[in-house]
Amino acid sequence: MSEEHGPKSNIRYAMVIDLDKCTGCMACAVACQEENNQAFYEDETNKNRSVTWLKVFKLDNQKSYPGYEEQFLPRPCQHCDGGHDAPCSSVCPVNATKRSIYTGIVSQIYPRCIGCRYCMAACPYHARYFNWWDPDWPGDLEKELSPLVSTRMRGVVEKCTFCNHRMMQAKNKAIMNGEKGIDPDDYVPACLEACPTGAIVFGNLKDPDSDVAKLSKSKRAFRLLSKLPTKPKVYYLSSRKWVRDLADHRR
Amino acid sequence: MKLTRRSFIKFAVGAVGGIHLTPLPWYLMDDAAIWSQNWWFRQVPKKGALTSATTVCTLCPGGCGIEAGLISEKRAIGISGNTSHPVSMGAVCPIGASGPQFTYGLSRVKTPLKQTGKRGDRSSFKKIGWDKAIEEVGAKLASLGGNGERLAAVGGARGSLSSELFSRLIWALGSDNLFRVPSSADSEELASLAMTGVRAPFSYDLVNSRYVLSLGCGVFEGWGSPVWVHQTLFGNNGETRLVQVDSRMSPTAAAADRWVAVEPGTEAVFALGMANVIVQQGLYDRGFVGSASGFGEFRRYLAEEYPLDFVSDLCGVEPREIVSVAREFAGVRPAVALWGRGKGSMPDTLFSAMAALALNGLVGSVGARGGVLPTPQPPLADWPDLAEVAPSAQSPKSYLDFLSSIEAASGPEVLLINQANPAYGPVAPALFKKALAKVSTVVCIGSYMDETALSADYVLPADAFLETLDGAVTPRGMPYPVFSLVSPALERLYDTKPAGEIILRLAKAAGDSVAGGFPWENWEEALKARAQGIVESKRGAVSDEETAFAVAEGKGVKVAPNFGDLDELWGKLGESAWFDPGQKLAVDFQTNSGRFTFSAAGLKGIGLGKKNGFPRPLDAPLSGDPKKFPLILVPVELLIMPGESLGAAPYLVKMLRDDQLTHNDVYADVSPRTAKKLRLKQGAMARLATPQGALIVRVNLTEAARPGVVYLPVGLGHTAYDKFLKNKGANPYEVLEFLKDKETNEVSWWGARASLSKV
């Protein structure tokens, strides 16, 4: 439930990605794969089947050489803040996905998902992925599986969780240290941690001193599909008008 | 109501229909889902304490300090950057992020292997024990009797101490047939030797540069030390202007402030065109140039050979654009020009490296703040002198000539390969494979069953990423000395050893005269002996987070040693790297004149530099009839495809877009204008032919491509490794043209004449 429909929370986790700092290096995408035990197949040709929670799109201005320009856009789950629930979680029949009233994070409980894929139909960002096959970690590759993130079996939907498990770890640490709130430095998603240019910023949108709060108000800021009432919590920054226009399919 | 069959059915249907109008089925579904969510069929990775171990990434020569996230200290589940390491400063590149897949990958060689059947037949490799393997190979080396011609070797990346030990082994065995994998560092070294008198590749004080001109370098595609370059160029709050000179709209060009589109292979000529404008318009740094030598002749050379119209024609750039960039470059201080195509390791000519260095000299950016300087090395203790005479490593032998000579006559009896994959690339793999047939014994030291290991007689498996022990010196392009200890973050998985240990054991088994030059008990002792030099230098410090970030922000940081003795240094090296950011940038010119010199004359001392002045670009650079091969093929190095011929991990192959790889077909980027002339549609299969051979590819039509040029990514087309990589795509190394720089005998390659036709 969003704020209007539930108790007020001081925390709304959001992300700001500065596209002018993104070189399309893919460190964020690969770190996300590794952190979250994402499945990989022998043939990843079909990108409708490939599981990529953080997908890096290559945008271009459709002009001819040498007026041609490109920009890369990493797209995690947008953790939509609109309505009484995010589009995906409002249609889940088993509450496998829910937006937290406390943090704004749209989480996913993989073992609870029954694989109806209603959420995938609902998500306008195509940020959700279905396990069409049983994930396989042949040989010793199984050793790289992290116990902090549930593994998924065939028939289950998965998506970016803003590294929710890292927040839980930060919470545990705060509790053990007898502190009230988590230390922001202890909760950093894997993509941000990997990024070598600092293009990704993460934090509490309701904290006016946070970088995300300030950057979300930048002149360069825009969100994807802003004409929809999804109210995504991932803001993008770009100084190129053609990039900002693409967010709403304007050319 | 009478209970008939009919009424019963009516009631039942009514009940089922009614229930579906209630929330009951949905709640039951919900409850069932929750009830069963913790059942036994969930695969749960083994839990354990979450700790981390610091080490250094070995997947490219970048030398990034990393932290491996471990479970129960036994297995690695993720890689992040070490925040106190001055190279990575807490970040990673995609290759490092996929690191655990290099450790746990399916192509790891798990024990020493001996080929008992036909070479190349994987099934007839038999396991042998380490003692036996070392004994047999050692005996073969000893039997060479110090005759250097009977031995040859191909070594791996620059910058690792195990590679240095390998070179030492070959020299101790009396051979100078040692071929390090060719890189642009080879010609940079010679350019630096000629113009500054210091023989080292180029490094750049990027933190302080305000204008960076990249001459075709893949700045954000793996060039230099990739994470450091990203961190540095974006760490200046937009104060640094980046200009990319490149034939295509690469990711670097996309992120740059300005893109200058040039004909491929002409970047160095463009640089000299700029140099001519700078000289003619009097925009050069009078102080620096006034104190240099050879300027008068250089100025004449530029005026005669690089007039604006000629450069404009050759490079395909409007004269006013050349002037504009020249004026910008000379107008913003400090400005620096970067060299090294692709990841900075595509080997090129002495001419090109000197062009870049000369351009930097003209604006006073050599040995100055924000400029270029010879890569400074950490003050490690020297290896002890070898009893045997080390060969004339000064005048490099041509790798191409060597391979051709084997093919023509008989080969060396023993060929040793250390952490390289020459049967795949990057230089003349077709020639290498032919030459192999003439060699009696091929010994491969490496971690993976790659193309070279598959063709070997002995495979001596080395510890892989996160397991190995090694030393890493100043990474490519870094402007101050760095020494990192690559320490094991994990216990090794299989029956492998650090490459340095393997080389040491081979040396000890190759006869007393060789063993004498390797007096250490084990590899760690050898590393410590060298690190002792740092202790004695009383310079630098082991970095911490605060210092690393302060240096990265361009604050003048002076450090003092934070270690008293070797034990203390060694302990600290487990946490971060030693570096000396306070080391002066100024170059102590060692040329004959003691000054920066705009000529190659200084190379005469090592048997090069036949001409007095500046070298010329290669004559007739690419072979082939332009009518038959009207296009130019340019290989493209992607950040997600590892260099050094290392096979990509599954996560990296997964990251390739479907306009780069679909199923087993790689895409060559072609301009829609070119494709239209050839009647090739998007995704069409095509035959990409060069005078050297042909590949089957699909075409991707993109306006990022310069018309007339075909771009093919490097790193695919492997015929070894495992199902995640094997047989996917094509290998451009098989069809590129490998040129020999007549000035230096060095290998040079950047492309080939090509044709594309429908299949």
Q: Tokens standing for B353?
A: 């490296």
Tell me the C-alpha distance between B203 and B209, whole Å.
12
Indicate which of B228, B654, B656 best probes the interface with A, i.e. most A CBs within 10 Å of its own CB. Answer: B654
Q: Rounded to the nearest 5 degrees, what angle is found at the Cα of B222, between the Cα atoms of B219 and B228?
A: 75
Cβ contacts (< 8 Å) between A44 and chain B: which residues? 653-654, 656
Q: Which residues contact B213 (CB under 8 A, 6 or more apart)?
A: B243, B245, B325, B329, B335, B336, B337, B338, B359
pLDDT of B614 reads 81
Tell me the C-alpha distance between B245 and B13, whole Å.
76
Scored b (16 or more CB within 10 A) or e, B317-334 reads beeebbbebbebbbebbb
Please state, in angstroms and as integers, the Cα–Cα distance from residue B453 to each residue in B112, B320, B390, following that order.
11, 52, 28
pLDDT of B158 reads 82
Tell me the C-alpha distance between B498 and B511, whole Å.
22
- Cβ separation of B77 and A113 shorter than 8 Å? no
DSSP label at residue B366: B
- Cβ separation of A196 and B91 shorter than 8 Å? yes
Tell me the C-alpha distance between B485 and A48, whole Å.
43
Radius of gyration, CA atoms only, chain B: 29
pTM over 0.90: yes
pLDDT digits (tens, 9 = 90+) for B402-448: 888 777 767 899 999 999 999 998 888 998 999 999 899 999 999 99
- Cβ separation of B97 and A146 shorter than 8 Å? no
Gap from B704 CA to chain A (nearest CA, Å): 6
DSSP label at residue B602: G
Tell me the C-alpha distance between B165 and A3, whole Å.
64
Q: How far is CA B456 from the centre of its chain?
A: 24
- Cβ separation of B663 and A145 shorter than 8 Å? no
- Cβ separation of A26 and B655 shorter than 8 Å? yes
Average pLDDT score over residue span A146-174: 95
Write phi, then psi, for B213 (nearest 5 degrees).
-105, 110
Torsion sign, CA atoms B680, B684, B690, B693: negative
Candidates B135, B137, B129, B131; CA nearest to B112 is B129
**Tokens 């029956």, residue?**
B495
- B665-670 and A13-18: which strand pairing? unpaired
- Cβ separation of B37 and A111 shorter than 8 Å? yes
Q: Are A103 and A152 in contact (CB under 8 A)?
A: no
pLDDT of B395 reads 46
Burial of B694 (0-12, 13-18, 19+ CB in 10 A): middle
Q: Which residues contact A137 (CB under 8 A, 6 or more apart)?
A: A144, A145
Please state, in angstroms and as integers, the Cα–Cα distance from residue B23 to each residue in A85, B19, B20, B27, B28, following that order.
20, 8, 7, 6, 9
- Cβ separation of B231 and A93 shorter than 8 Å? no
Averaged confidence pLDDT in chain A:
94
pLDDT digits (tens, 9 = 90+) for A103-117: 999 999 988 999 999
Select the residue of B47, B104, B233 nearest A141 (Cβ to Cβ): B104
- The DSSP H or E segment spanning B698 is strand B693-701
Gap from A92 CA to chain B (nearest CA, Å): 10
**Tokens 């929670």, residue?**
A53
Tell me the C-alpha distance between A24 and B149, whole Å.
48
Q: Which residue of A has its CA nearest to B706?
A: A65
Tell me the C-alpha distance between B610 and B616, whole Å.
11
pLDDT of B25 reads 87
Task: Report the SS3 class of residue B500.
Answer: helix
Tell me the C-alpha distance between B18 and B245, whole Å.
72
- Name the more confident of B748 and A154: A154
Gap from A167 CA to chain B (nearest CA, Å): 15
Tell me the C-alpha distance between B148 and B133, whole Å.
22
Q: Which residues contact A70 (CB under 8 A, 6 or more apart)?
A: A24, A58, A59, A60, A61, B249, B251, B254, B704
Q: Which residue of B has its CA nearest to A50?
A: B654
For B111-147, give the DSSP string: S-EEE-SSTT-GGGEEE--HHHHHHHHHHHHHTTTT-
Cβ contacts (< 8 Å) between B45 and chain A: which residues? 37, 142, 145-147, 151
Q: Rounded to the nearest 5 degrees, what angle is found at the Cα of B190, between the Cα atoms of B188 and B196?
A: 90
Q: Are B602 and B294 in contact (CB under 8 A)?
A: no
Longest dimension (CA), chain A: 60
Task: Report the SS3 class of residue B529.
Answer: helix
Q: Are B67 and B90 in contact (CB under 8 A)?
A: no
C-beta atoms surrounding B288 within 10 Å: 21
C-beta atoms surrounding A121 within 10 Å: 12
Indicate left, alpha or beta for B567 from its phi (over 0: left) and psi (-120 to 50: alpha): alpha
Average pLDDT score over residue span A63-75: 96
Gap from A170 CA to chain B (nearest CA, Å): 13
Gap from A65 CA to chain B (nearest CA, Å): 5
Q: Are B432 and B752 in contact (CB under 8 A)?
A: no
Dihedral Cα B366, B370, B372, B377, nearest 10 deg: 110
- Cβ separation of A30 and B652 shorter than 8 Å? yes
Tell me the C-alpha distance between B729 and A101, whole Å.
48
- Cβ separation of A45 and B703 shorter than 8 Å? no
Q: Per-residue pLDDT for A45 more than 60?
A: yes
Torsion sign, CA atoms B559, B560, B562, B568: positive
DSSP label at residue A5: G
Torsion sign, CA atoms B374, B380, B381, B383: negative
Indicate which of B26, B28, B70, B104 best probes the interface with A, i.e. most A CBs within 10 Å of its own CB. Answer: B104
- Cβ separation of A151 and B92 shorter than 8 Å? no
- For chain B, the 3-state helix, strand and coil shares in percent, each to the nearest 5, are 35, 20, 50
pLDDT of B411 reads 80
Indicate which of A17, A23, A47, A109 best probes the interface with B, i.e. most B CBs within 10 Å of its own CB. Answer: A23
Tell me the C-alpha distance between B171 and B165, whole Å.
10
Indicate which of B77, B257, B657, B669 best probes the interface with A, i.e. most A CBs within 10 Å of its own CB. Answer: B77
Task: Report the SS3 class of residue B228.
Answer: helix
Dihedral Cα B311, B317, B322, B324, nearest 10 deg: 170
Complex-level ipTM beyond the 0.90 threshold: yes
Beta strands in B427-572 (DSSP E): 441-446, 458-461, 470-473, 482-486, 541-542
Which positions of chain B have pLDDT values less than 70? 1, 41, 156, 236, 387-396, 409, 609-612, 618-620
Q: How far is CA B183 from the centre of its chain?
A: 9
Candidates B417, B419, B461, B411; CA nearest to B443 is B417
Torsion sign, CA atoms B501, B507, B508, B514: negative
